[in-house]
Structure 1
Amino acid sequence: MEAIIYFLVWAGLILLMMRFGCGAHVMGHGHNSRTNPMQGGGNPDLRWIAPETAKDPVCGITVHTNAAKSAVHDGHVFYFCSRECRERFEAAPGTYLTQDIAASAVKEAVHG
């Protein structure tokens, strides 16, 4: 019984420190986190919303973003129809970013 009380006292102390003390910034409560975007705050109303559809840069297929595989390159989000297309893109993104639309249309027909 004494061990349980000991544990609960320490757990309560750590909770208080995280909520109000030195760990408050971790929980988003301290150091003016809502006013300084560099400390994880920023505008709470600002949100990125994905487009409904996007074009797979590897095979050119139009995919619904809610069910697509995704990857981030150079600060941009790219969506893929399959894991294989995403892996090809991640291996050599420059190859697929410089392709023209005609080459993508040919790959779409081959991808099937």
Structure 2
Amino acid sequence: MNELVYFMLWAGIIFLMMRFGCGAHVMGHGRSKAKHGEGAPEEQTIENLRWTPPTDDVDPVCGKSVSTETAKPSVHDGHVYYFCSRDCRERFEAAPAQYLTGDEARRLSAQPENEHA
């Protein structure tokens, strides 16, 4: 009988910890700041965020119009650039400031190498 009472006591303690304490997120009772219907609007949830690439873009190295489905992409400074060939992509990655125009080139030259965006 003592074993049963001991078991029930520990089961109760574990249940309370899972319900209200450190395991609340496992049981779906997390204490998030924004509850359903409060805070951020429903359309701004992470599940609804999706980036879709444009259908066509211009290769910054050779100036050709490329389809983004077949292009060779490269990410530089948080932007995706599309290239017609691997050769154009490698040229861009070697010296991106040479192929960027206007504000993009000035922003790259003004940013110190050890500073992260």
When the two structures are superposed, what TM-score results if normalisation uses the length of structure 1? 0.51
Partner of 1:86: 89
Which residues of structure 1 form unaligned runs of 5+? 1-28, 36-41, 100-112
- The answer to whether the aligner puts 1:60 opposite 2:63 as a matched pair is yes
Equivalent in the alignment of 1:48:
51
| Paired amino acid for 2:92 | F
1:69 lines up with 2:72 in the alignment: yes
1:35-57, CA deviations, whole angstroms, 9 ceiling, x for partnerless residues?
Answer: 8xxxxxx6111000000000000
Compute the displacement of 1:63 (Å): 0.1
Greater RCO (Cα-Cα under 8 Å, separation 6 or more) = 1
Which runs of at least 4 in structure 1 moved beyond 6 Å after TM superposition?
none
Q: CA deviation at 1:98?
A: 2.4
Equivalent-residue separation in structure 1 for 2:49 and 2:69 (angstroms) = 20
RMSD: 3.0
Question: Aligned partners of 1:56, 1:64: CA distance in 2, in Å?
Answer: 10
Query: Over residues 49-74 of structure 1, what are the superposed CA-to-partner deviations in whole Å (9 max), with x where a residue is unaligned?
Result: 00000000000000000000000011
Percent of aligned pairs with the same amino acid? 58
Query: CA separation in 2, counterparts of 1:89 and 1:44?
Result: 33
